[in-house]
């Protein structure tokens, strides 16, 4: 049976993501984010997808974290979604740009108060002398913010990966997997197949 080819991978991603939200028991929005520093040394970690549309894939973090520093030095990155229950994977590559300040503010406001205070308490990716020191810092900020709005720290922001390559992988028997690759060129998206 042949595949229906399409000119745009985003509706296909939305369809797969909707299925993952129904099928995956935990964190269907979890994605591995791979970045590299200015010397090309890679690092990867799991973050959460907080928005997807034709502009790209959005996530939020501390801009002063290791990933933030790597994105400042090298604004290309890759994402991997692995939905084990569905036996599917999506790989995304492209350029990363900051989202607007307004979008960062709007998303930060949706987080729980405790998570907003946590963003203030964490010097993400920096050495920590002890867990007790972090918990004490958090408790002090809870007290400091008592009765006050917890606004977004200037160093906490959103990023959007603007894809130029998206691969949809489906498990098949005998390791004869299906790989659909979309690439963005001057004329728009094109789709092809890859050997497994």
Residues with catalytic function: 175
Give the residue among 90, 92, 88 at the shortest CA–CA distance from 170.
88
Task: Report the 10 Å Cβ neighbour count for 182.
Answer: 23
- Determine the distance from the C-alpha atom of residue 91 to the mean position of all C-alpha atoms in its chain, rounded to a whole number: 12
CA distance 57 to 162: 7
CA distance 68 to 54: 23
Token pair, residue 134, equals 């972090």
DSSP 99: P
Structural Rg of the chain based on CA atoms: 19
């Amino acid at each position: 049976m042949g595949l229906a080819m399409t000119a745009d991978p985003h509706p296909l991603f939305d369809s797969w993501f909707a299925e993952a939200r129904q099928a995956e028991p935990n964190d269907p929005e979890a994605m591995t984010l791979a970045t590299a520093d200015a010397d090309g040394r890679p690092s990867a970690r799991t973050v959460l997808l907080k928005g997807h549309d034709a502009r790209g894939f959005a996530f939020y973090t501390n801009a002063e974290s290791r990933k933030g520093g790597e994105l400042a030095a090298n604004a290309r990155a890759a994402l991997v979604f692995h939905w084990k229950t569905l036996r599917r994977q999506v790989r995304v590559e492209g350029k990363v740009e900051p989202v607007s300040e307004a979008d960062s503010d709007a998303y930060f406001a949706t987080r729980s108060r405790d998570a907003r205070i946590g963003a203030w308490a964490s010097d993400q990716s920096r050495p920590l002398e002890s867990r007790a020191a972090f918990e004490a810092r958090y408790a002090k900020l809870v007290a400091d913010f008592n009765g006050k709005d917890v606004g977004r720290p200037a160093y906490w922001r959103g990023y959007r990966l603007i894809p130029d390559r998206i691969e949809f992988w489906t498990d098949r028997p005998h390791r004869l997997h299906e790989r659909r690759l979309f690439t963005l060129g001057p004329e728009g998206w094109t789709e092809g197949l890859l050997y497994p």
